[in-house]
Amino acid sequence: MAEQRWVPLESNPDVLNKYIHDLGAPSKWQFVDVFGLDDDLLAMVPQPVVAIMLLYPLTEKVEGSPIGDVDTGVLEKAYFIRQTIRNACGTIALVHALANNKDKIEFDDSKYFTKFLESTKTMSPEDRAGFLEKDSNMGNIHEESAQEGQTQAPSREDEVNPHFVAFIHQDGGLYELDGRKDGPIRHSDSTPETLLQDTAKVLRKFMDRDPENINFAITALVQN
For residue range 16-35, what is the model confidence (pLDDT) as tens digits?
999 999 999 999 999 999 99
87: left (phi over 0), alpha (psi -120 to 50) or beta: left
**What's the rounded Cα separation, in Å, for the pair 18 and 185?**
28
Q: What is the pLDDT of residues 67-115, one digit of tens each?
A: 999 999 999 999 999 999 999 999 999 999 999 999 999 999 999 999 9
Nearest to 33, CA basis, from 13, 56, 7, 62: 13
Per DSSP, helices labelled H in 9-111 are 13-23, 39-42, 60-63, 89-99
Q: Does the domain formed by 13-223 have CATH 3.40.532.10?
A: yes
**What's the rounded Cα separation, in Å, for the pair 124 and 76?**
10
- pLDDT-derived band of residue 150, with 50, 70 and 90 as boundaries? low
> What value, to the nearest 5°, has the Cα angle with vertex 203 and ends 197 and 209?
150
C-alpha distance from residue 217 to each of 10, 94, 111, 157, 224 (Å): 10, 15, 28, 23, 21
Contacts 24+ apart (CB under 8 A), 131-137: 132/81, 132/84, 132/85, 132/88, 132/91, 133/4, 133/84, 133/85, 137/112
Q: What is the pLDDT of residues 173-216, one digit of tens each?
A: 999 999 999 999 999 999 999 999 999 999 999 999 888 877 89
Q: Which residues are tagged catalytic?
A: 89, 163
C-alpha distance from residue 121 to each of 82, 128, 131, 175 (Å): 14, 8, 11, 19
Give me the pLDDT at residue 31, please: 98
* Predicted TM-score (pTM) of this structure: 0.93
- pLDDT-derived band of residue 149, with 50, 70 and 90 as boundaries? low
C-alpha distance from residue 42 to each of 35, 36, 193 (Å): 8, 7, 13
- Does residue 58 have a pLDDT over 80? yes
Length of the chain equals 224
Summarize the confidence of residues 47-75 as an average pLDDT: 92
**What's the rounded Cα separation, in Å, for the pair 110 and 40?**
40
